[in-house]
Amino acid sequence: MLAIEVENLKKQFNGLTAVNNISFEVRAGELFGLLGPNGAGKTTTINMLSTLLNPTSGEAKVAGYDIIKEKDNVRKSIGVVFQEPALDNKLTGRENLEFHAMLYGMNKDERNKRINEVLELVELKDKADILVENYSGGMKRRLEIARGLVHKPKVLFLDEPTLGLDAQTRRHIWEYIQKLNREHNVTIILTTHYMEEADYLCDRVAIIDHGKIIAMDTPERLKDKLGGDIITFELEGNNNEFMNEVNKLAFVKSIKEHNGKLTIMVEQGEKRIPQLIKLAQKKGVDIKSVALHKPSLEDVFLHFTGKTIREEEASQKERNINFARRRFRR
């Protein structure tokens, strides 16, 4: 059974294409990730699926309901944790949940029962009557997740749920998200630009860049598509001749130069390093450093785009500034 169906979804803003004809499906009970840099179109996608934005073209269904024709039914079926905090700091945790539950028409007995359930789920029952302004960042995020669950949604959207949190708190949030998905069978769509987050949490990942889905599969299969191990050389001097010779080696699957470093994909990497070092020395290339690791989602992103996510974010920011300048000059 499908919880979400997306077909050729597109969104443009004043000539800028934020989401470019994307299509994907999410099964009921799946934890699905949209992975990509800031500005790639992840939040815009979530906003369309949660009916906050109308698409320019294309169609989508959430929990079986059309996001254009059946908006009210979609909204009743989903919970959303926005990227930006949306809590009332002058209310207690319980009061925030109560207000949200009332908006969904839940009666008093039902509200009280459900609020206690979600507070226990995110381990905030003992903090429920404290003003939110006194909560830590992690506590606020957990409360927002609880709020998104109060009305028992079929689908939960989490937009960058751990943005700005420290590593330890982020790990705790991951545990709550996994618990929701596995023990409570909530279908979750998660947006993130943290590679390790997508790898750790998601059943499947769609890598999105410039508004397009460039790869989609389980994290393991995405990494397996690269094949073998990755050796990274930081070299000094002209390495063109070295690269040409490396390309001829039977055990080399691919080689890329990026930011002054060579990334070489090979089988049995630990056995190949001495051979490659010997070849570099033969070609008069000085080796500053060498590293060996298994493929990561960062490597997958680099493979498909030629850039790291951080570099893509920087170039996206520059494009947005240039676009704003052009608009201003008009």
Tens-place pLDDT, residues 115-161: 999 999 899 999 999 999 999 999 999 999 999 999 999 999 999 99
User: Two tokens at 312?
Assistant: 């893509």
Beta strands across the sheet bearing 229-236: 252-258, 261-266, 229-236, 286-293
- Report the candidate in 144, 128, 219 with the shortest Cα–Cα distance to residue 176: 144
Work out the number of other CB atoms within 10 angstroms of the CB of residue 190: 27
Give start-end residues of each CATH 3.30.70.100 domain in the chain.
228-294
- Report the candidate in 251, 219, 77 with the shortest Cα–Cα distance to residue 148: 77
- What would the CATH number be for the domain defined by 228-294? 3.30.70.100
According to the model, what pLDDT value does residue 30 have? 97
According to the model, what pLDDT value does residue 227 have? 77
For residues 124 and 87, the answer to whether their CB atoms sit within 8 Å is no
Q: Percent of the chain having pLDDT more than 90?
A: 66
User: For domain 2-218, is the CATH number 3.40.50.300?
Assistant: yes
According to the model, what pLDDT value does residue 47 have? 97
Distance between CA 306 and CA 194 in Å, rounded?
Answer: 18
List of E strands, the chain: 2-13, 16-27, 31-35, 57-62, 65-66, 78-81, 155-159, 187-192, 204-209, 212-217, 229-236, 252-258, 261-266, 286-293
Distance between CA 195 and CA 205 in Å, rounded?
Answer: 10
Give start-end residues of each CATH 3.40.50.300 domain in the chain.
2-218
Stretches in the chain below the pLDDT threshold 50:
323
